[in-house]
Amino acid sequence: MPDSFDDWLIESIGPGEVITLRNLVTNHIAELGKDHVYDYRTNPSRSKEGVKYGFLMLKVQIFTQGPKLWLRPNSKPGERVAHSDRQHHSLQWTPRQKIDVSSYFPPTASFIKLQFRLWSELHGAPLLIRISYYPEDAAMLEYSGPSGVIEIMLTQGPEIYVSFSHPTVNYQLTAIGWTHNL
């Protein structure tokens, strides 16, 4: 499919500095963390009638396909995410697995922090994890690399769903913190 250059509206900047963007053409909703934004540039020549236009330089690339939306980390902000043609480098997303995180955190936790560790015996296998609140295709957070920290707002209860970029990817999740909703 060809690239799309639609306008996105910053709808809100919520608790935990979650930035909610809405695609003005497709109505897709993307939730970004503060750390997903590399830079912001104004576009005063396009701004009119109180609406300010600009450019968000992201550390992630937003992908949409039909109703699906996902994010892929990008090590070079403003540049495309490169794809490999090698079979073992290709993304082969696993079915989502349900993880109940209630044993990791107290019931009053509103935000949780998990550290992930990913590895594979297959050299060159992509190391990515997707996290969602829903078992079906819906908004997902995507992280890459052998390890990292995920901060999640528990809006849908104590269950999350994870998927991995290749069937050979092994994982470990460790609770490292939370914020109470008091």
Q: Give the C-alpha distances (Å, rounded to integers) separating 15 from 20, 60, 76, 112.
A: 11, 20, 27, 13
In CATH, 91-180 is 2.60.120: yes
Residue 182 has a pLDDT of: 62
What percentage of the chain's residues is helix, strand, coil (to nearest 5)?
A: 5, 50, 45
Mean pLDDT of the chain: 82
pLDDT the model gives residue 1:
47
What would the two tokens of residue 41 be?
Answer: 């540039």
Joined tokens for residue 67: 């109703």
* Closest listed residue to residue 160, CA positions, set 132, 129, 128: 132
pLDDT at 71 over 50: yes
Between 85 and 62, name the one with better pLDDT: 62
Contacts made by residues 73-82, CB under 8 angstroms, sequence distance 24+: 73/128, 73/142, 73/143, 73/144, 73/145, 77/38, 77/39, 78/38
Flag the least confident range among 9-13, 56-60, 74-78, 153-157.
Answer: 74-78
Q: Locate CATH 2.60.120 in the chain.
A: 91-180
pLDDT in tens, 84-143: 555 556 788 899 999 888 888 888 888 888 898 999 888 778 888 988 887 776 667 888
pTM of the predicted model over 0.95: no
Is the model's pLDDT at 171 over the cut of 90? yes
Query: Can you give 92-148 as a three-state secondary structure string?
Result: CCCCCEEEECCCCCCCCEEEEEEEEEEEECCCCCCCEEEEECCCCCCCCEEEECCEE
Question: Looking at residue 75, what is its pLDDT?
Answer: 66
Residue with tokens 């990292």: 148
Cα of first residue to Cα of last residue in the chain, in angstroms, is 46
Which pLDDT score is estimated for 124? 77
73 band by pLDDT with thresholds 50, 70 and 90:
confident
What pLDDT was estimated at residue 170? 93
